[in-house]
Amino acid sequence: MNISLELIPNSEEHLINEMAMIKADFPMITAINIPDLARFDMRSWDACTLVKNEFPRAIPHLRAIDFNYSEDLPFKSTLLDYDINEVLVLKGDPPQDMSKKVYTTCSVDMIYKIKREMPHVKVYAAIDQYRHSMKDEYEYVQHKLNAGVDGFFTQPFFDIRFLEMYTEMLSGIEIYFGLSPVTSKLSASYWKAKNNVVFPKGFESTYKWNIEFAKKAIEYISMNEGNVYFMPIVVDLKRYLTGVFS
């Protein structure tokens, strides 16, 4: 079982400090995902050049709508120069104020373009199990597979039963199943309103509940030959991971 962790590139110093802590205290984590967020100066592929100094695997997120399908890929030389050979393609949400130029490029287009121009790069795509019905999401998965995608990262799961259903549906595909601690009522409200998450009966926005759930989920994922993707948002990262791996 491979374990990947998402780190936000707030600043170069912050990213380096977090990586040092992870490398020292949690050696089971061997891959780092870096989102590409418009509010930060550092692009995901640039941040991954720092990651490669500490971890064998660096996975930049690429928002399809940020790239013109007919133009050269602006991150190509960085990936080649720093031996970054994995990426995660997402569609991306347009900026609310439209201050940044976006394009009509979709995830399937972007996957196809990268696989055609950089065939050595392993391309992952996103699965959002809350976006559509399971049938519609499975059909979207098939479109991405036809475009040449190599595997998937999911949105976080909070219910073992739901995790079991998706594990069965995606059997035979390389999947990183998402886990994200939700440790406040405000955070829970965000996931409900923004991502359409339905939390299971008995859910509690506490470290205790989230740590216990993560342990159960990791055990199930490991038994079913899957991988784990931690997405810690507004959380004491060391406290959470120490609880999960204790």
Residue 36 scores a pLDDT above 80: yes
Closest residue by Cα to residue 110 from 128, 93, 124, 127: 124
Residue 98 scores a pLDDT above 80: no
Mean pLDDT value across residues 189-209: 95
CATH number of 3-244: 3.20.20.220
Predicted local confidence at residue 184, as pLDDT: 95
Domain ranges for the chain: 3-244
pLDDT > 90 fraction of the chain, expressed in percent and rounded: 92
Q: Across the chain, where does the E strand assignment appear?
A: 3-6, 31-34, 57-63, 86-90, 122-127, 151-156, 175-179, 227-230
Tokens 């219910």 belong to residue = 159
For residue 95, name the pLDDT band (cuts at 50, 70, 90).
confident
Distance CA 170, CA 224 (A): 11
The encoded tokens of residue 51 equal: 């990651």
Closest residue by Cα to residue 33 from 153, 200, 175: 153
Angle between helices 107-117 and 134-147 (to 10 degrees): 20
Rounded to two decimals, what is the model's pTM?
Answer: 0.96
